[in-house]
Amino acid sequence: MGVVSRIRRLEIDRIAEEVVADVAALPIEPRSIATERQITIQTWEPKVQGISGFLMKQGDSFGIGYSAKIKNPGFVNFTLGHELGHYHLPGHIEKLFASGSGIHSSRSGFVSGDECEREADLFAATLLMPERLFRAALRTAGQGFPAIEALSARCVTSITATAIRFAAFVEDPVAVIVSSNGNVEYCCLSPAIREIGGITNLRRGDSLPTTSTTARFQEEPDNIINGCRAEGCSILDEWLEGAPPVEMKEDVVGLGHYGKSLTVLFSGEPVEADDPDEDEDSYEHSQQWERQG
Ligand SMILES: [Zn+2]
């Protein structure tokens, strides 16, 4: 699976932030960004499953398509943001149109391991949730899953993309975990948790703590299909090895498809490290997106 280097990731963030530098308020409208660049947008019925959109090049003209099957406005925006990523990121146009076919089909939403696809996904997330505007919105968004839901509505972005961005910037101790069938798919920790020394982040395939609200929630498939919610409490070290045994609130919501659920562990109180001298470099913020897909 292609891993995007930290330097490249910073470059992607910088380019995406530059594109929306003059935008004064959320939501970002990728449709307008495309129009400003004379890029036409159309919907189409993909014949291959999993294709979310495409970028087309004819001479110096570009067009973007997105699947008519996508009904969620947040995922439409993400797909448009992904294609704009191919348009803006250095090297993409040369690489994607090297064969001369004039069309690149995309699998956006962190499901593809292809390097260009992952880069375009990273671009889309930053484009739709630029740091300055997102941080400002975050300050009044509240806590836990309701905060993520409010930000998702404000940014017109998917719940999972918003949750990951939320974990990256929130000041409180927060862990966002996407899981399915009792196993972790990926986990993003907020800086307040990452900075605790000596903890080990969850990895793909790790088992959920058996006592957690999330584990019990997942035992009932209808919870996930119907987008149900549950609330409970967890002790942080049940989730993260080496973390202090502090109580965290635990919000869980079913994501409705592929058997996935989203868990938000959070606390309004600072989490104190057991041993501040321990190594802090054992896990990497920069790799958080790589745990997806
Ligand atoms: Zn693509």
Higher pLDDT: 1 or 51? It is 51
168 Cα to the center of ligand 1, angstroms: 24
Query: Looking at the DSSP assignment, which residues form a beta bridge with residue 174?
Result: 266
pLDDT of residue 53: 92
Split into its structural domains, the chain has a count of: 2
Work out the average pLDDT over 35-58: 92
One domain, residues 91 and 194: no
105 Cα to the center of ligand 1, angstroms: 6
Sort 21 into a burial class: Cβ within 10 Å, 0-12 / 13-18 / 19+: exposed
pLDDT tens profile 83-108: 999 999 999 999 999 988 899 998 87
Domain extent for 210: 145-291
239 Cα to the center of ligand 1, angstroms: 34
> If pLDDT is split at 50, 70 and 90, which confidence band does 273 have?
low
pLDDT of residue 293: 33
> If pLDDT is split at 50, 70 and 90, which confidence band does 46 have?
confident
For ion ligand 1, residues whose CB falls within 5 Å: 106, 117, 120
End residue of a domain, out of 128, 160, 193: 128
One domain, residues 114 and 154: no
* Residue 1 falls inside a structural domain: no
> If pLDDT is split at 50, 70 and 90, which confidence band does 187 have?
very high
One domain, residues 124 and 149: no
82 Cα to the center of ligand 1, angstroms: 6
One domain, residues 180 and 114: no
One domain, residues 212 and 97: no
Q: 43-52, 118-127, 163-172, 232-241: lowest mean pLDDT where? A: 43-52
Cα separation, 125 vs 137, in Å, equals 15
Work out the average pLDDT over 230-239: 96
Is 287's pLDDT higher than 90?
no
Q: What is the mean pLDDT of the chain?
A: 89
* Residue 134 falls inside a structural domain: no
Is 190's pLDDT higher than 50?
yes
Residue among 219, 199, 223 at smallest CA distance from 210: 219
One domain, residues 122 and 185: no
* Residue 138 falls inside a structural domain: no
One domain, residues 153 and 236: yes
One domain, residues 283 and 152: yes
Is 282's pLDDT higher than 60?
no
pLDDT of residue 238: 95
Q: Which residues contact 171 (CB under 8 A, 6 or more apart)?
A: 190, 191, 192
One domain, residues 78 and 173: no
99 Cα to the center of ligand 1, angstroms: 15
One domain, residues 104 and 195: no
pLDDT tens profile 63-76: 999 999 988 899 99
Q: Is-contact 29 22, C-beta < 8 A?
A: no
pLDDT of residue 291: 38
Q: What percent of the chain has pLDDT over 90?
A: 74
Looking only at the bridges linking them, the beta strands covering 229-235 and 53-58 are: unpaired
Looking only at the bridges linking them, the beta strands covering 53-58 and 61-67 are: antiparallel
pLDDT of residue 55: 96
* Residue 226 falls inside a structural domain: yes
One domain, residues 153 and 257: yes
